[in-house]
Amino acid sequence: MKIWIDADAAPRDVKEVVFRAAKRLDLVTILVANSPVGVPANATTVRSVVVREGADQADRYIVNNGEPGDLAVTADLPLAGLLVDKGLFVIDPRGEEYSPATIASRLSMRNFMDDLRGAGVETGGSAPYGPKDKKAFASTFDRLLTKAIRRAETSSE
């Protein structure tokens, strides 16, 4: 079982939460980005993968290398949809879990908002990432990580 982070836009707080868990539980964690991402020296199970420049290269890497039961962190809804379909546990940096029950409606809403923006309607943006977001992420991440570890233990027996 691995943890994947779509690292180009992942907040520092999210990475810190994941790094602590990876160290505590000795879990392989892979940050995937288009440019180098720093990894703490004491995070021996964490590594960074730099993909070539280009749209969706990091996404392709995660989709091609992630396996059912792995846990992924991304704010990219199309990527989340592909990963959910593949059987990964997926969470966004604000603590929302993407699942087979929720991903279709989230993608539909994203496409609708894209259409509005394309028509010139100002839709606003996300609020700045704050302490409530970090707390929500840490809580959902802990719950999904527990599920992923349990699934990995039962599938290896």
pLDDT digits (tens, 9 = 90+) for 113-133: 566 667 777 766 677 899 999
For the chain, give every domain's residue range.
Answer: 2-155
Q: What is the DSSP secondary-structure string of 72-137? A: EE-S-HHHHHHHHHHT-EEE-TTSPEE-TTTHHHHHHHHHHHHHHHHTT-----PPPP-HHHHHHH
Give the CATH architecture of domain 2-155.
Answer: 3-Layer(aba) Sandwich (3.40)
Cα–Cα distance, 19 to 80 (Å, whole number): 21
Contact 114, 65 (CB under 8 A): no
Cα–Cα distance list, 131 to 14, 22, 134, 143 (Å): 11, 21, 5, 19
Taking only the tens place, the pLDDT of each residue in 10-65 is 999 999 999 999 999 999 999 999 999 989 888 899 999 999 877 689 999 999 99
pTM of the shown model: 0.85
Taking only the tens place, the pLDDT of each residue in 45-60 is 999 999 987 768 999 9
The more confidently predicted of residues 111 and 134 is 134
Strand partners, 28: 2
